[in-house]
Amino acid sequence: MPDPSFSKDIKERKIEHLKIPIKHDVQHSENYFKYVKLIHNPLPEMDFKDIDISTGFFSKKISAPICISAITGGHPVSKKINEILAKAAHEENIIMSVGSQRAGVEDEINVDSFRVVRDVAPKIPIIGNIGIGQVSSPDFSLEYFNKCIEMIDADVMAIHLNSLHELVQDNGDISYKDFQHNFKKIRNFTTIPIIGKEVGAGFNEGATRVLEKLGFDGYDVGGAGGTNFAAIEEKRNRVLKNKFSRNPAEVFREWGNPTPVSIINVRKITQKPIIATGGLKTGKDIAKSIVLGADIGGFAYNFLISAWKDYNEKTIMNTINEIQTLKNEIRSCMWLMNVGSINELKGNKDKRVILGKLYNWLNQ
Ligand SMILES: Cc1cc2nc3c(=O)[nH]c(=O)nc-3n(C[C@H](O)[C@H](O)[C@H](O)COP(=O)(O)O)c2cc1C
């Protein structure tokens, strides 16, 4: 039986997480995408409209390398937001992720807020989501993981690795000793791809090697540069700030490996699919991510803002417009670089230069 007060706690936390980034500036202060420049070619030798931005994600074909990153679920407002995002993702044939499904597994009443995604988007790739804290728990079971998959008929499951966030929030899960042991149980019995995902502090090579050995099928680098969970907790933190002489959420506000660094770190270790999230703001950032070695660009903040507008205006047009804008921006980059397909762009060192702090970081 779920503990109703616990479930209420998760619900309240979910809605605070949703509203704080809308109302306050909780973005990382520095975004390293500015240190990546795409090389202009003054002679595009193709029609703008013939540029092919379609690509694949595991077994499915999508119209563009765009992912609506994990944002929400587990609250009536989340249900509406997920419905808006999924309808738009379906119409534009891109990838959609749900937020952590813990609230759905632990209390049946929340299942609808996740299931709505598959109901309105029967064909697109949908990524399910559960935290390392849940997978590491002594109570974790294969059944728990399968419930997440079945809830949304997930094509792919993401396990989010959010150690920084857990550390700076009240009652965070900060013991992952049993992670590898428990993960092996699910890996042996799960046929759909499983990806490892950070949420804004990024990846290093060492963690990628460990996850590769465990049999992960892909990565979402969730690097530093965009939405910042330490900053979100700084806004909502009620417990820790009274416990210590300094608020940990404030001290660790700028912690993390920038997204461009994380893409390069992960690509050094694996040829598996990489989603780049963390501070991507435009289609230019998708093109930069792909040129650095990623396959897909993911956005949480942009789509949170568009879906919130849609929620208030009872439409899905703001989100559709955001997706179409991103598509036009990727195609524009490719035309200006004289690149006809996503494959030609991917990891293409001749098409970019790396400057300033990013260059310094990578060359130490
Ligand atoms: C309101 C909100 C809730 C989020 N919830 C989750 C979550 O439940 N699981 C997860 O893996 N990531 C979650 N994220 C992280 C995003 O998926 C993404 O990795 C991160 O925000 C960086 O992308 P951005 O800079 O485009 O926002 C959330 C982000 C936001 C803004």
pLDDT, residue 4, reads 54
* Torsion angle defined by CA atoms of residues 312, 113, 54 and 263, in that order, rounded to the nearest 10 degrees: 100
- What's the whole-model pTM score? 0.97
Say how far apart CA 82 and CA 73 lie, in whole Å. 7
Write the residue with the smallest CA distance to atom 7 of ligand 1.
99
Residues in Cβ contact with 215 at an 8 Å cutoff, skipping those fewer than 6 apart: 187, 194
Q: Show the tokens assigned to 32.
A: 């390293």
Say how far apart CA 165 and CA 150 lie, in whole Å. 27
What is the Å distance from ligand 1's center to 95 Cα? 15
* Angle of CA points 73, 259, 13, to nearest 5°: 25
Q: In a structure prediction context, what are the per-residue pLDDT tens digits for the chain, which is 364 residues long?
A: 455 555 677 778 888 889 999 999 999 999 999 999 999 999 999 999 999 999 999 999 999 999 999 999 999 999 999 999 999 999 999 999 999 999 999 999 999 999 999 999 999 999 999 999 999 999 899 999 999 999 999 999 999 999 999 999 888 899 999 999 999 999 999 999 999 999 999 999 999 999 999 999 999 999 999 999 999 999 986 655 578 888 899 999 999 999 999 999 999 999 999 999 999 999 999 999 999 999 999 999 999 999 999 999 999 999 999 999 999 999 999 999 999 999 999 999 999 999 999 999 999 9
| Mutation choice for ligand 1 from 98, 227, 228, 304, CB with most ligand atoms inside 8 A | 227
What is the Å distance from ligand 1's center to 300 Cα? 5
| 301 CA closest ligand 1 atom index | 27
Residue whose entry in the numeric block shows the structure tokens 């650095």: 292
CB 277 within 8 A of CB 259: yes
Domains in the chain with CATH codes: 4-362 (3.20.20.70)
| Mutation choice for ligand 1 from 29, 67, 69, CB with most ligand atoms inside 8 A | 69
Q: Cβ atoms within 10 A of the Cβ of 328, count?
A: 14
pLDDT, residue 244, reads 86
| 225 CA closest ligand 1 atom index | 25
Question: Within 6 Å (CB) of ligand 1, which residues are found?
Answer: 17-18, 21, 69-72, 99-100, 129, 158, 160, 197, 199-200, 222, 226-227, 277-280, 299-301, 304
| 277 CA closest ligand 1 atom index | 23
| 158 CA closest ligand 1 atom index | 11
3-state secondary structure of 96: strand
| Mutation choice for ligand 1 from 15, 71, 299, CB with most ligand atoms inside 8 A | 71
Q: Which of 92, 12, 30 is nearest to 306 (CA)?
A: 92
What is the Å distance from ligand 1's center to 17 Cα? 9
pLDDT, residue 1, reads 43
Q: Show the tokens assigned to 105.
A: 């597994």
Q: Which of 206, 223, 222, 224 is nearest to 270 (CA)?
A: 206
